[in-house]
């Protein structure tokens, strides 16, 4: 049973526009959420994270929003660039000594010039 869900397998946007990638989770014990980006034949690369005590974290063109009551988070990329084309994974972690990440299935983003 998927505890972290990315319901859109793919997304296509025009260069310069906003990309919004969504993620839902079911486990209310998750206390930390992360987004990773993955290019083919490479390992995932950490992008941005957010603690459950916050509702927004921003880093340059990337902003993550967390809605705890809805168990939903989203990654906004603005403006989108062709180099952002990759698979984006949402991941979540629990508290205490549990350091493993639970991952979604990923969303493939294509930014068209």
Partner 1 sequence: GAGVSQTPSNKVTEKGKYVELRCDPISGHTALYWYRQSLGQGPEFLIYFQGTGAADDSGLPNDRFFAVRPEGSVSTLKIQRTERGDSAVYLCASSPTSNNYGYTFGSGTRLTVV
**Nearest distance from C-beta of residue 33 to partner 1, angstroms:** 9
Please give the Cα distance from 20 to 107 (Å, whole number): 10
CB of 43 to partner 1, least distance (A): 3
Contact set with partner 1 (CB under 8 A):
4, 32, 34, 41-46, 49, 89, 91, 93, 97-106
Q: Residue 77 or residue 104: which is nearer to partner 1 going by CB?
A: 104
Minimum Å gap between C-beta 58 and partner 1 is 16
**CA-wise closest residue to 93 among 44, 57, 50:** 50
In terms of CB distance, is 44 or 111 closer to partner 1? Answer: 44
Between the alpha carbon of residue 62 and those of residues 27, 48, 77, 100, the distances in Å are: 25, 8, 5, 24
């Amino acid at each position: 049973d998927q505890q972290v869900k990315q319901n859109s397998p793919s997304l296509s946007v025009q260069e310069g526009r906003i990309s919004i990638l969504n993620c839902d989770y079911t486990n209310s014990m998750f206390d930390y959420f992360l987004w990773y980006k993955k290019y083919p034949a490479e390992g995932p690369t950490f992008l941005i994270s957010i603690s459950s005590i916050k509702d927004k974290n921003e880093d340059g063109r990337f902003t993550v929003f967390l809605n705890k009551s809805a168990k939903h988070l989203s990654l906004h990329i603005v403006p989108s660039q062709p180099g952002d084309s990759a698979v984006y994974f949402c991941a979540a972690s629990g508290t205490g000594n549990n350091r493993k990440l639970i991952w979604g299935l990923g969303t493939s983003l294509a930014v068209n010039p």
